[in-house]
């Protein structure tokens, strides 16, 4: 049995007490897909990400990764199975260097035992060397190699965003989840980010799920877009269809005048 979808969210719901943040959301992501997830503030996008990555466990429904139900797994287990993410509010390891941020993310691929790392066996040194090279290569791709020894908290904002993506990539994912990567960026930085996202997808041949407020960016890079409003999926389609979908326009611009009067 083969599973065409990398990730499948099947009618997932998240309730916080009386509030339903996400209601029966379904998503399907194919290998190599670049899917956008948009919607007004508070629509439930980040909550959906948290369910896909194990930070929250869905109240109802199921998340499947290559056919395996991962709804009950812890975040680190899901990451080890090939899903990596960034955060809307940057969450770097601030007091660690840029390189160390990546080393932490990369190390489950290059496991060394506790004892061998304390005794510094040759096997351990080989592992560390391979991990280091893997991470330095990524830093080069993300144009951060000159900053590898900087504490991550000392990077300018745009570079911190880039570092977060690089760190996620260090886990060697098949699917990358980006939560508003362009937030707080200027137009020039946003343009570079757009190129970077395209590059990642083509270079690493991986699927990306992108939450973004910058419509230009979303319409530009995404193959298909899902639109959330008040926790419900209200539209799904290619950028053109989404732009012309009356429900989407309403969600973003509010109801039309005549309807308001009623």
Partner 1 sequence: MSGFFDYLIPLLSNVGIFIILALGLNLINGICGQFSLGHAGFWAVGAYAAGAYGLYFAPEIPNFINLFISCLVGMITSALFGLAIGIPCLRLRGDYLAIATLGFGEIIRIVIMNTDKLGGPRGMTNIPHWTNIFWVYAWVILFIFIIVNFLKGPHGRAMISVREDEIASESMGINTFKYKTMAVVIGAAMAGVAGALFAHGQQFLHPNNFTFMWSVIILLMIILGGLGSVTGAILGAIILTILPELLRFMGTTIAEWRMVIYSLLLIALMLWRPSGILGKREINLLGLFKKGKT
CA atoms within 13 A on the CB side of 216: 11
Residue 16 touches which member of ligand ADP, Mg ion, partner 1, none, C-beta under 5-8 Å by kind: ligand ADP
Q: Is 183 in the site for partner 1 (CB under 8 A)?
A: no
Cα distances from 133 to residues 129, 137, 149, 179, 199, in angstroms, run 6, 6, 15, 27, 20
Q: Do 165 and 196 contact (CB within 8 A), yes or no?
A: yes
Q: State which residue, 148 or 245, has the beta carbon closest to partner 1.
A: 148
Instruction: Show Cβ contacts of residue 203 under 8 Å, excluding neighbours closer than 6 positions.
Output: 141
User: Which of 47, 160 has the CB closer to ligand ADP?
Assistant: 47
Per-residue mark of binding to ligand ADP, 34-73 (x: CB under 6 A): -----x-xxxxxxx--------------------------
Closest CA to 84 of 99, 68, 106: 106
- CA atoms within a 13 Å half-sphere pointing along the CA-CB vector of 84: 20
Give the residue with the Cβ less far from Mg ion, 39 or 106.
39
Decide if residue 85 touches partner 1 (CB under 8 A).
Answer: yes
Give the x-and-dash track for 143-182 against partner 1 (CB under 8 A): -----xx-----------------xx-xx-----------
The residues of the shown chain that bind Mg ion, judged by CB under 5 A, are: 46, 88
The residues of the shown chain that bind partner 1, judged by CB under 8 A, are: 53, 55, 74-76, 79-80, 84-85, 87, 91-96, 99-100, 103-105, 107-108, 110-112, 114, 117-120, 124, 128, 131-132, 136, 148-149, 167-168, 170-171
């Amino acid at each position: 049995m083969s599973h065409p979808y990398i990730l499948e969210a099947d009618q997932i719901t998240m309730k916080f007490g009386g509030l339903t943040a996400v209601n029966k959301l379904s998503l399907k992501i194919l290998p190599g897909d670049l899917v956008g997830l948009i919607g007004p503030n508070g629509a439930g996008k980040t909550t959906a990400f948290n369910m896909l990555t194990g930070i929250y466990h869905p109240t109802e429904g199921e998340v499947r990764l290559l056919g395996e139900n991962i709804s009950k797994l812890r975040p680190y287990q899901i990451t080890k199975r090939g899903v990596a993410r960034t955060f809307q509010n940057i969450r770097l390891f601030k007091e660690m260097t840029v390189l160390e941020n990546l080393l932490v993310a990369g190390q489950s691929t290059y496991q060394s035992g506790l004892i061998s790392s304390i005794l510094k066996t040759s096997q351990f040194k080989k592992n560390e060397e391979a991990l280091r090279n893997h991470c330095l290569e990524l830093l080069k791709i993300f144009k951060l190699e000159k900053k590898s020894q900087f504490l991550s908290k000392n990077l300018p904002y745009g570079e911190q965003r880039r570092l977060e993506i690089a760190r996620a990539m260090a886990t060697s994912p098949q699917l990358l989840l980006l939560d508003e990567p362009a937030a707080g960026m200027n137009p020039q930085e946003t343009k570079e980010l757009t190129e970077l996202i395209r590059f990642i997808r083509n270079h690493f041949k991986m699927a990306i799920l992108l939450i973004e407020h910058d419509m230009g960016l979303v319409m530009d890079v995404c193959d298909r877009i899902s639109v959330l409003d008040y926790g419900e999926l209200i539209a799904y389609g290619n950028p053109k269809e989404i732009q012309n979908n009356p429900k989407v326009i309403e969600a973003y611009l509010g109801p039309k005048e005549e309807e308001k009067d009623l």
